[in-house]
Amino acid sequence: MKFPFKNIALIGKHKSHDVAEPLLRMAEFLSAKGLSVLVDKQSAEHLPSCPYPAMELADIAGRVDLAIALGGDGTMLNIARTFSPHHVPMIGVNQGRLGFLTDLTLDNMLDVIEGMLEGQYVTERRLLLSARVMRGETEVFSGTAFNEVVVHRSQISSMVEFEVRIDGEYLYNQRADGLIVATPTGSTAYAMSAGGPILHPGLDVLELVPVCPHTLSNRPIVVRASSVLEILMHRTGDIRVRLDSHASFDMQLDDRIVVTRCPEHACLLHPVGHSYYHTLREKLLWNQAF
């Protein structure tokens, strides 16, 4: 990771017209400090005018030292897969709802960013997942996930039937609406809604959370992040694998999904004094008096 930062990418919430004013305000602030600003091309389309170079996200990734996302967790999930292979750290400004990944607010972003540009930040590495769909010995789909890899039924009303193996060892056969393989980051997303535990992002683990399993004794399980997870489909129909709600693939009978830890990490920068437990209290309303 390079410091001090000289070339900065700005990415706004996808298809949001409300992002124009804060994004231009941030761009002007950074430019006035003599920093080079690049704007995501899709974000630039929602600006009344853009005096800054606008490029495709994939082209920006290899040219910048820092990425600042103005949006919600979905915006951060979207850019993490692009910037992580280039080891570009990311800062999130919350313009969404919960915002577990976005620390800054529209009101305090300039003051906080000024301190972070001077080195007043803490660095956090977040685990990513790699997923491959194997059809026999042929790889027919692959991708990266920040939150989770999900196997789920699409249009059918019957349950999904699959087998799970961990490091080659048989774990169970399952009949359920689906299965979530989540990172610690994803433990506060779909996995939490399905009854999975909240995992501290510093843990080097993954969790498997069944969605509405047909066996009451089947519970979520936490495994080492170095584990190789295999999910073998045992029935045909509308069954799909989905990565972070951004990429999906329709499965066939006997397709095998292999999920492993991605060699790259997502690098997040937080203001000094950042606390994950404070974030939980604030976002999940744990600090409300009864």
Percent of the chain with pLDDT over 70: 96
User: Do residues 208 and 221 make contact, with C-beta atoms less than 8 angstroms apart?
Assistant: yes
- DSSP-derived secondary structure letter, 63: G
Chain-wide mean pLDDT for the chain?
92
Query: Has residue 281 been placed in a domain?
Result: no
Same domain, 133 and 252: yes
Same domain, 115 and 153: no
Same domain, 69 and 177: no
d(CA 66, CA 129): 22
Query: CATH number for the domain including 152?
Result: 2.60.200.30
Q: Which listed residue (65, 73, 244, 255) is catalytic?
A: 73
* Domain total in the chain: 2
The answer on pLDDT for 61 being more than 90 is yes
Query: Has residue 282 been placed in a domain?
Result: no
Which residue range(s) make up the domain with 138?
128-263
pLDDT at 96: 67
Average pLDDT over residues 83-106: 89
Same domain, 87 and 194: no
Query: Has residue 272 been placed in a domain?
Result: no
Same domain, 44 and 134: no
Q: Which of 58, 89, 119 is the last residue of a domain?
A: 119
Same domain, 194 and 249: yes
Q: Angle CA(176)–CA(177)–CA(182) in degrees, nearest 5? A: 95
Q: Which of 119, 137, 153 is the last residue of a domain?
A: 119
Same domain, 133 and 60: no
Residue 54 structure tokens: 């606008």
Q: Which of 68, 94, 119 is the last residue of a domain?
A: 119
Statement: the pTM of the whole predicted model exceeds 0.75: yes
Same domain, 107 and 222: no
Query: Has residue 279 been placed in a domain?
Result: no
Which pLDDT tens digit goes with each residue over 240-268? 999 998 899 998 889 999 999 999 999 99
Which pLDDT tens digit goes with each residue over 136-189? 999 999 999 999 999 998 776 678 889 999 999 999 999 999 999 999 999 999
Query: Has residue 164 been placed in a domain?
Result: yes
Query: Has residue 280 been placed in a domain?
Result: no
Same domain, 39 and 142: no
Average pLDDT over residues 45-53: 88
Q: Is 14 exposed, middle or buried (0-12, 13-18, 19+ CB in 10 A)?
A: middle
Query: Has residue 28 been placed in a domain?
Result: yes
> Would you place residue 95 in the very low, low, confident or very high pLDDT band (cuts 50, 70, 90)?
confident
Same domain, 202 and 81: no
Same domain, 163 and 256: yes
The answer on pLDDT for 50 being more than 90 is no
Query: Has residue 213 been placed in a domain?
Result: yes
Q: Is position 204 annotated as part of the catalytic site? A: no
Query: CATH number for the domain including 114?
Result: 3.40.50.10330
Same domain, 94 and 149: no
- One-letter-per-residue 3-state SS of 130-146: EEEEEECCEEEEEEEEC
> Would you place residue 215 in the very low, low, confident or very high pLDDT band (cuts 50, 70, 90)?
confident
